[in-house]
Amino acid sequence: MFGTGYEMHSRMTKVVVIGSGAREHALVRALRRGGGAREIVAIPGNPGIAREARCVPAQPSLSDAALAESPDLVVVGPEAPLAEGFADRMAQRGVPCFGPLQAAARIESSKAFAKEIMLAAGVPTPRAAIFEEAAAAREHARSEGACVVKLDGLAAGKGVIVADDGAAAAAAVDELWKPGARLLIEERLRGREVSIIALCDGENVVPLPPARDHKRLLDGDRGPNTGGMGAVCPPADATQELIDLTVRTILEPTARELARRGTPFVGALYAGLMLTAQGPQVLEFNCRLGDPEAQAILLRLRSDPLPLFFAAAQRRLAGQKPVWDSRTAVAVVLAAHGYPGAPRAMDEIHGLEALAAEEGDDLWVLHAGTKPVAVASSPSPRSAPAPGRRGRARTVPRPASRSPECRAAPTSPRRRCNWRGAGKDPEGNSTACCSASSRACSSRRWEASFSSTW
C-alpha cells in the first residue's frame, strides 16, 4: 500500500527524530510505515515511541546526541531547538536536517520579524503596531478597542490575548509586559481559522492537507483554551481553491522573501490563517509541524515521508507529490485531570492493550507525557507531565469519511481507555478526557472513564 519512492541509499538509512511529544510519535510512526531499510532513533523520545524506535537521551546536549548517531537525516519536531540553532549545528557538520536554521526559524520565534517578512512579501496579514515601551503600548491598546495583544517571542501558546475592548486590551498589555519585551498590538479579525502547512526546501513549497485544531478544553466549546485538544484534517470548508490561493499569496511569497534575505526556510512552514471575506490572512507562522495537527495529517499520508523530508533538506523538493488518504482524519487528545491548569500526574491509564490490538493504518494511539510504571508483571503507562506540554497524555487520530467533517468519526467500534482517579471539575464536568471535535462537528462528551463510542 505504501510505495517507498526512496532509492537513494542501498544501505540502511538512519533517521533521527528530535522531540518527545505525540507529534514526534506520529513522525516515527509515519516513517516506520513508509517501509524501506531504515533505522529510526528518537531523541529523547517517549515511552510510546520507545516501543517502536530506539530512544536516546539528549546528553550531553540535543545536538551532541544527534551528531553522535551519525544520522543520514534529522527531522526536528518542536520549535525550541530550531529557535536555539539546532539546525545550524547540523549544517555545520554537513548533516541533512528537516527544520530551518535559526535565522529562518525567527518566522516563529519573533512575531515582529514575521510581520516584517509578510509586509515585505505582500502577504495578507492583519495590521499591527510594535511597542517596546509599556505606557505607549497601553495607550495604543486603549485607543484600538477590540484588538489582539501579542508578546514577541516563543511563549508556548501563552503570549496572545484577544481583547474585546480598549480596557481589556490595556489590561492585556499589563499582563503580557515584562522588562525588555516587545508587544504587537494587532487588528482583530473575525472568521474561521485553518492551518496550512507546507514542506519547504528554501525555494519550492509542497502543501500538506489543511488542518484545524480545537483548543477549548470541554465539550460544547466550553472551558479554557488549551495547547490543542485535537485536530481535524481536512476541515470541510478548506477547499483546493483555498490551498492554491494560500500557496500563491502566502507560502511562496514568504519562502521567496526569506530566501532573498539569505535565510532560506527548509522544513515545515506553518501558516495559521483566518478565513476572511477578503481571503485568508496570516495570524502566525510556525517553523515546524503543528501538534496536534501533525497527528491527523500524518495519519492520512499514504506515501513514504522519508523522500519528502530528504528532498526538502537537500533542496530538491520540486516535483514531490505525497499521496493522501481521501478520508478525513480526526485526532483526539486525552489529557490528565486538571489539564491545562494543574494536571495531576501519575494517574494510571487503562485500556491501552485493547486499543493496541486495533491499531493499524486507520488508528494510531500516540503518547505524550506518559511514564511507564511496573504494574504486576508488565509496565503500564501513567500520565506524567512532560516539560512544555504539561499533562497532555496522548493523541488518538483516526480517519473518518470525508464530509461532514467529523460527524462520521465516532462510528467505529467501542474504544476503551481510562484514567484511574480521573475526576470531575467543580461544575461536574469530566476533564480527564475531552472532545476534540471542532465547532462544526457533532458535539460529544468524553467521560472521565472514557468509555464513549467513537
Question: Which stretches of the chain bind ligand AMP, using CB under 6 A?
Answer: 126, 148, 150, 160, 162, 186-189, 193, 272, 283-284
Q: How far apart are CA 136 and CA 138, in angstroms?
A: 5
Q: What is the dihedral of CA 162, 168, 170, 176, to 10 degrees?
A: -50
C-alpha count within 13 angstroms, C-beta hemisphere, residue 232: 30
- Minimum Å gap between C-beta 283 and ligand AMP is 4
- Minimum Å gap between C-beta 271 and ligand AMP is 10
Which of 150, 337 has the CB closer to ligand AMP?
Answer: 150
**Strand stretches in 45-155, DSSP E:** 54-55, 73-76, 97-98, 128-131, 147-151
Residue 315: C-alpha distances to residues 75, 119, 227, 250 (Å): 15, 26, 32, 20
Which of 128, 417 has the CB closer to ligand AMP?
Answer: 128
Written as nine digits, the cell of 166 is 480598549
Helix H or strand E segment including 33 = helix 22-33
Which of 283, 352 has the CB closer to ligand AMP?
Answer: 283
Q: How far apart are CA 388 and CA 6, in angstroms?
A: 35
Which of 212, 300 has the CB closer to ligand AMP?
Answer: 212
Judge whether 295 and 229 are in contact, CB under 8 Å: no
Among 395, 198, 387, which Cα is nearest to 291's? 395
The dihedral region occupied by 361, where left means phi > 0, alpha psi between -120 and 50, and beta the remainder, is alpha
Which of 95, 274 has the CB closer to ligand AMP?
Answer: 274
Which of 80, 148 has the CB closer to ligand AMP?
Answer: 148
- Minimum Å gap between C-beta 177 and ligand AMP is 17
- Minimum Å gap between C-beta 186 and ligand AMP is 4
| Closest residue to ligand AMP: CB criterion | 284
Judge whether 268 and 196 are in contact, CB under 8 Å: no
